[in-house]
Amino acid sequence: MTLPKDETPALDRRSLRKLMAAGLIGSSIEWYDFFIYATAAALVFGELFFPDASPLMGTLLSFSTFWAGFIARPIGGLVFGHFGDKFGRKPALVTCLILMGSATFLIGLLPTADSIGVLAPIALVFLRFLQGIAVGGQWGGVILLLTENAGRDRQGRAGTFGQMGVPIGVILGNIVFLAVSATTSAEAFVSWGWRIPFLASAVLLPVVMFIQLRVEDTPVFRELKSHSEEAADEKVAQAPLKEVVLKHRRPVLLGAGLLFGTNAIFYISIAGVLDYATRDLGVDRDELLAITLAASAISVFVIYFSGGLSDRIGRRPPILVGAAVIALWAFPFFWLIDTAKLPLIFVALVGGLIGSSLTYGPLAAFLAEMFEPRIRYSGASLAYQLAAILVSGATPFIMTALLAATGSSASVSAYVCVMGVITFLSAFVLRETRTKDEIRGEAGRDLARTD
């Protein structure tokens, strides 16, 4: 398979910096909206929406509603991938941001089971489903706006401004939850305090307006559209989703495999451990949220480093190293968690998130480069969101179920190790999209410009 290369010019530095800032802010708020659900599911949704269930069953049911968002993500990736390949990256992204903000805000207004009975969890699942559709379409839009505007030699670094939104979203969510918890009583937090983080999603609106009014679509898509209008053979794919499914199944499946390890350890770190350590190990909720915040802050810098490094040495090496770290750290991770000592839990989270971030940093550029521009939104989104439904949403549920069935965290460690091995093998099998000849050529051009 001949891998696609983008020859379109990059934006000027000033415009690119504005776009990167908008992409980072928009992605961070979007993921904040998606992840505060995980925190609320671990802390309060069980008793508010499933009050008749036991604590364990309430947690399982709460995490099953969390999973609904991930089931919806491939749908969002398919729908908006098709839309983005046919009509443009920007309109698809703006629509997703509006949908996410609206669904999150409405969760903050949702009556609980005490008020409307069984309709409460049904409405919760529906809104979570809309969140999943939004984030499923959003990822492809923001990473393509960034990478397709950055120029060939900076795509890895540019893509991290979408990827860094994930840990920043976790940080923002934890800060808001900590602030609300610190300023309300335990009873008030359960009664109404948990709603504040969801209502705060209204701040996404200015970002939507900036992207809509000040950001143009990518030069890659504009060139495709121009060729389509001028030439008899259509360059913009008329059925991009169908083309991806029929002709590009291998890169989609292997691309999804790239995310198995990073998704498993990440969602265990931000959701599974929060429930396990507070409910089974007796760790203080606020202190655990604080160290999760600190560990997530470290991962922001590792993602940026890893993406930038992939521009210089290739996409696969950082992914392979990160996958190896995830697999090798899986058992020490839970040995440290099981001590119930906060400093050791922090070490466990940092080690796991470093492995996750090394893998995750180059993935925006790598997944985009695996597909030609005319089907890129559909192909990259389908690969990314397929991993979401298979691993991301299932992981907290699987972790809770394994702990209940075996009584030992070793079973969860084994699960994480297997996921890391799958990511390593997927990266090993895939062809490098950032070749040594290409890197040397760009280094030579940079040297010539300095002479």
Q: How confident is the model at residue 316 (pLDDT cuts 50, 70, 90)?
A: very high
Lookup: tokens for 112: 């609980």
Of the pLDDT bands very low, low, confident and very high (cuts 50, 70, 90), residue 233 is very low
State the pLDDT at residue 260: 96
> Would you say residue 430 has pLDDT above 90?
yes
Q: Is the pLDDT of residue 22 over 50?
A: yes
Using left for φ > 0, alpha for ψ between -120 and 50, and beta otherwise, residue 142 falls in: alpha
Q: Tell me the per-residue pLDDT of 335-376, one tens digit each, with 9 for 90 and over.
A: 999 999 999 999 999 999 999 999 999 999 999 898 887 788
Residue 310 placed within a domain: yes
Question: Averaged over 386-392, what is the pLDDT?
Answer: 84
The better pLDDT of the pair 418, 129 is held by 418
Q: What is the pLDDT of residue 234?
A: 47
Domain range for 190 is 13-221+237-450
More confidently predicted of 227 and 207: 207
pLDDT above 50 (res 448): no
Find the mean pLDDT for residues 307-322. Answer: 94
> Per-residue pLDDT averaged across 386-413, rounded?
86
From the list 105, 426, 408, the residue with the least C-alpha distance to 276 is 408
What rounded mean pLDDT belongs to the chain?
82
Does the residue 152 lie in any domain?
yes
232: in domain: no
pLDDT recorded at residue 224: 57
pLDDT of 421 above 70: yes
| CATH number for position 60 | 1.20.1250.20
Whether the predicted pLDDT of 24 surpasses 50: yes
In a domain, 8, yes or no: no
Residue 118 predicted with pLDDT over 60: yes
* pLDDT for position 68: 78
| Domain annotation covers residue 101 | yes
Per-residue pLDDT, averaged over 71-92, amounts to: 79
Mean pLDDT comparison of 7-11, 213-217, 318-322, highest-scoring range: 318-322
pTM: 0.81
Using the predicted structure, report yes or no on whether residue 388 has a pLDDT greater than 60: yes
230: in domain:
no
pLDDT tens track for 133-185: 988 888 888 888 788 777 777 888 888 988 998 889 888 888 888 888 888 88
- Give how many domains the chain has, as a whole number: 1
With respect to residue 227, please indicate whether it lies within any of the assigned structural domains. Answer: no
Residue 310's pLDDT band (cuts 50, 70, 90): very high
Answer whether residue 209 shows pLDDT above 60.
yes
Is the pLDDT assigned to residue 4 strictly greater than 60? no
Confidence of residue 436 (pLDDT cuts 50, 70, 90): low
Instruction: Specify the pLDDT at position 215.
Output: 63
pLDDT at 6: 55
382 in a structural domain: yes
Q: Could you give the percent of the chain with pLDDT greater than 70?
A: 85
- Tell me the average pLDDT across 366-394: 85
Work out the number of other CB atoms within 10 angstroms of the CB of residue 109. Answer: 10
